[in-house]
Amino acid sequence: MKSRASRRAVNWIMTGLCGLGLVLALIPLVSVLWLVVSRGLAGLSFDFFTALPAPVGEAGGGVGNAILGTLYIVGIAALIGVPVGVGAGVYLAERGGGRAGDAVRFTAEVLSGVPSIIVGIVAYGLVVVPMRRFSALAGGVALAVLMVPTLARSTEELVRLVPGALREASLALGVPVWRTSLRIVLRTALGGILTAVLLAVARAAGETAPLLFTALNNQYWNWRADEPTASLTVQIFNYAVSPYQDWHDKAWSAALLLLLLVGALSLMARLLARNRFRVRR
């Protein structure tokens, strides 16, 4: 039997190692945050949020159209991707026992491992080529394809977490199976599913590669789904690879903005997850 002192020593060492791991994990996170904030904060002004990009050499200008474009493209992606992803997840959990379910599950797994740039090429082939133009719609389709597999799998997991006793309780009240799925099972899992949706949207908002040859970019305001559309990520990319210092600074500011946007979505997801089982008064 080990002595009390040696056990205590091991305890201290192990706790210390855990703390060290935490610090190591935090270093890249904090340094990225610090770098983006320190370089980007100066460029944030009212104009930056609302104005169009200025030509090289001209002072001022902003990324208003890119903010709008990101929201627009991600909105289209959510409109397409969320119903498909959540629907597939509910199907997998409720009816996905057989061969068809396995096929869908396998497809989702493979799809979630496909690099996002390849999804971009697929959307290029599916939407851009037939329409003969780059468009917000093409970008939305690409991001939707990225959202579907993760959404389907997480929805499946969340629906499976709903206790079978609740399903039985509803069926025993004479509620038909489909309505039980919808009003009891899905409703109970809804908080978690909303969290998963927000996280998927946040991830999609941070994608650059699939937008490069789908939504392309646009220096002006665009409200049309069939026109090339600016996005924060592509704008950051273009600014960052340019040779101009002014554009580099703008890239940092846009990066900070994107970080805030994604962070806000994740935070909302967290809050939703926390309130999952709280009944409205």
Partner 1 sequence: MNDVARQRNSSKIVVRNLNAWFGKTHALRGVSLEVPENTVLAIIGPSGCGKSTFVRCINRMHELVPGAKQTGHVLVDGQDLHGRGVDPVDLRRRVGMVFQRANPFPTMSIFDNAVAGLRLNGIGGNLAELAERSLRQAALWDEVKDRLHHSALSLSGGQQQRLCIARALAIGPEVLLMDEPASALDPIATAKIEELIRELREALTIVIVTHNMQQAARVSDATAFFYMGELVEHGATEQIFTNPREPRTEDYVTGKFG
Q: Which of 1, 2, 173, 245 binds partner 1 (CB under 8 A)?
A: 173
Per-residue binding letters, 174-193, with partner 1 (x by CB under 8 A):
xxx--xx--xx--xx-x---
Q: Which of 169, 241, 264, 267 binds partner 1 (CB under 8 A)?
A: 169
The three-class DSSP label of residue 233 is helix
Min CB(269)–partner 1 separation in Å: 18
Q: Which of 41, 103, 168, 244 binds partner 1 (CB under 8 A)?
A: 168
Q: Taking CB under 8 A as the rule, does residue 277 contact partner 1?
A: yes
CA distance 112 to 173: 39
CA distance 256 to 175: 50
- Among the candidate windows 113-121, 160-168, 214-222, 249-257, which touches partner 1 by CB under 8 A? 160-168
101: how many CB neighbours lie within 10 A of its CB? Answer: 17
Per-residue binding letters, 89-108, with partner 1 (x by CB under 8 A):
--------x-----------
Q: Taking CB under 8 A as the rule, does residue 171 contact partner 1?
A: yes
Q: Taking CB under 8 A as the rule, does residue 273 contact partner 1?
A: no
H helix intervals, the chain: 4-40, 46-50, 64-95, 99-112, 116-123, 129-131, 136-161, 164-172, 177-179, 187-205, 209-212, 232-240, 245-274
CA distance 53 to 59: 10
Give the position of tokens 């039980």: 180
Q: Closest CB to partner 1 among 132 and 278?
A: 278
**Residues lying near partner 1 in the complex (CB under 8 A):** 97, 163, 165-166, 168-176, 179-180, 183-184, 187-188, 190, 277-279, 281
